[in-house]
Amino acid sequence: MLYLAALLVHCVPLAMAQYDICKSWVTTDDGPSWEFYACQPKAMRMKDYVTVRVDPAGITCGDPPERFCTHENPYLCSDECDASNPDLAHPPKLMFDSEDEGLATYWQSVTWRRYPEPLLANITLSWNKSIELTDDIVITFEYGRPTIMMLEKSLDNGRTWHPYQYYADDCMEAFSMPARRVRDLSTTSANRVLCTEEYSRWAGSKKEKTVRFEVRDRFAIFAGPDLKNMDNLYTRLESAKGLKDFFTVTDLRMRLLRPALGGTYVQRENLYKYFYAVSNIEVTGRCKCNLHANLCTFKEGSLQCECEHNTTGQDCGKCKKNFRSRSWRAGSYLPLPNGSPNACAAAGSAFGNCECYGHSNRCSYIDFLNVVTCVSCKHNTRGQHCQHCRLGFYRNSSAELDDENVCIECNCNQIGSMHDRCNETGYCECREGATGPKCDDCLPNYYWRQGCFPNVCDDELLLCQNGGTCYQNQRCICPVGFKGVLCQQSRCEADKQDCDGARGARGSPAALALAVLALQLPGWVDL
């Protein structure tokens, strides 16, 4: 037993015997029953479950076969990479095998023969599952560590990426960032993304081979140098915003931006000694199960939490069917030492049979109607079971009734629509002349100006006459001497005096000013 415990501690350094059971059968004064606790799976070697992708195409050496040299022995270029020969090939999977035989096996890139074009490579690791890191990420480079590289992470299976750490022999030059060390971070900056120079300087290719993402040093900010005070870390993980997510990933990407240079500048006459070679990528972490599972298994090509507490989903991120009488919640590390399970509750366990689809965690009995109804439905729902959408929202047809996104705002145009309600497909009810799902367009022969108005003039039926021009379908700008909505009326015919006046004033500054005014004032049709 002692031996086993020692072994476990050795393999998974942070798997303290805490939060490792989800329930236990206890006997109390009222008889035996289950007691439930917050629980999480053990930390595992995550490289065993990863899928890897190396970009760009053709970056892996050996196709065609190529000779390479090393910094130690730059003129003895006897090594060869040949993808078609298993003994000389360096495929990506060699970053994840076990190095039992003592001889390192490694993925290797092509050499920098295209210098000065940069030698870039991306190594992307995907788990298709959210994972909480529990120990350092350790990347081992044979033949020298890159002089510039970057670590990125994704939390959404590779849809979006965020910088995780920058590495360079000169952070200012490479990334315009000051060099910092994780050891110097404080409680308020434990989740800062920084640039470090600790892993990029030349120290001989055999001596310092690893590049780290320091999870332990960040944990130590809260748990002390030997991680003895894990309680404090767990308390912080619950309370400090974004801290838990900082250590959570679904994917990692190493962006290799410049290879080892052997401690000097690039020597153009021998570019065969510049390349990347990675023998191991160690990622230690546990499945993120929202503290609702203590087991995580590899099924159908992906890791899956074995959910307890009547939760379900890959991360135990929702309540099981018929257990949705209150909204789903993650378990909590607090209060110490056993945490809170925040289990999902069976429909009907509170009052009668009151399902609220997870939009409310309170039911109330209405005496004079003799019904039990959900109270304060969230997520823009309403109704006895929070099964309808609030006014001004409509049902999202691609979401289940218990989805947070079940109701979508109608977003009716305030001016173009009659009110802010819409039908089941999101169409608003439009005022005269307006159209479009949200009533923010005008029908043909209408123009938009704080609502839709019928055209006064256009290029087809409502032509401005006598050389007048149609201004934005709103009015005709008539030449001097004509008036009327469509300039159809001659001033001379209409009024002899007006006609004389117009002639007399033609070309005078006053007439020009009036014409300019007419152009500027909307609605001024008749001059």
Ligand X SMILES: *[C@@H]1O[C@H](CO)[C@@H](O)[C@H](O)[C@H]1NC(C)=O
Partner from Ca ion, ligand X, none contacting 301, C-beta within 5 to 8 A by type: ligand X
Is position 279 an interface residue for Ca ion (rule: CB under 5 A)?
Answer: yes
Of 20, 48, 55, 500, the one binding ligand X (CB under 6 A) is 55
Interface mask toward ligand X for 379-408; x: CB under 6 A: -----------------x-xx---x-x--x
Minimum distance from residue 396 beta carbon to ligand X (Å): 4
53 or 183: CB nearest ligand X = 53
Decide: residue 328, CB within 10 A, 0-12 exposed, 13-18 middle, 19+ buried.
buried
Contact 151, 137 (CB under 8 A): yes
Minimum distance from residue 152 beta carbon to ligand X (Å): 5
Select the residue whose beta carbon is closest to Ca ion and give its number.
105
276 or 482: CB nearest ligand X = 276
Minimum distance from residue 109 beta carbon to ligand X (Å): 11
Partner from ligand X, Ca ion, none contacting 279, C-beta within 5 to 8 A by type: Ca ion
Beta strands 44-45 and 284-287 are: antiparallel
Is position 105 an interface residue for Ca ion (rule: CB under 5 A)?
Answer: yes
> 142 pairs with which residues across the strands?
none
91 or 479: CB nearest Ca ion = 91
Of 147, 290, 310, 327, the one binding ligand X (CB under 6 A) is 310
Contact 275, 108 (CB under 8 A): yes
Is position 152 an interface residue for ligand X (rule: CB under 6 A)?
Answer: yes
Residues in 186-245 that interact with ligand X by CB under 6 A: none
Partner from Ca ion, ligand X, none contacting 94, C-beta within 5 to 8 A by type: Ca ion
15 or 254: CB nearest ligand X = 254
333 or 394: CB nearest ligand X = 394
What are the angstrom distances between the C-alpha of 274 and each of 12, 146, 147, 263? 35, 10, 11, 12
Interface mask toward Ca ion for 75-94; x: CB under 5 A: -------------------x
Q: Could you give the residue ranges of the DSSP H alpha helices within 148-267?
A: 171-175, 215-223, 230-239, 243-246
Q: Can you tell me the distance from the alpha carbon of 297 to that of 408, in angstroms, rounded to the nearest whole number?
A: 36
Contact 178, 195 (CB under 8 A): yes
Cα 497 to the chain's mean position, in Å? 74
Q: Can you tell me the distance from the alpha carbon of 461 to that of 457, in angstroms, rounded to the nearest whole number?
A: 8
Decide: residue 137, CB within 10 A, 0-12 exposed, 13-18 middle, 19+ buried.
buried
Is position 314 an interface residue for ligand X (rule: CB under 6 A)?
Answer: yes
Partner from Ca ion, ligand X, none contacting 105, C-beta within 5 to 8 A by type: Ca ion
Q: Can you tell me the distance from the alpha carbon of 314 to that of 95, in angstroms, rounded to the nearest whole number?
A: 27
Which 3-state string (H, E, C) describes 455-492?
A: CCCCCCCCCCCCCCEEECCCEEECCCCEECCCCCEEHH
CA angle 282, 108, 81 (to 5 degrees): 145
CA angle 514, 516, 521 (to 5 degrees): 90
Minimum distance from residue 478 beta carbon to ligand X (Å): 40
Length of the chain: 527
Is position 346 an interface residue for ligand X (rule: CB under 6 A)?
Answer: yes
Residues in 94-113 that interact with ligand X by CB under 6 A: none
46 or 190: CB nearest ligand X = 46
Q: Which residues bind ligand X (CB under 6 A)?
A: 34, 36, 55-56, 120, 122, 128, 152, 161, 253, 255, 301-302, 304, 309-310, 314, 343, 346, 396, 398-399, 403, 405, 408, 423-425, 427
Q: Which residues bind Ca ion (CB under 5 A)?
A: 94, 97, 105, 279
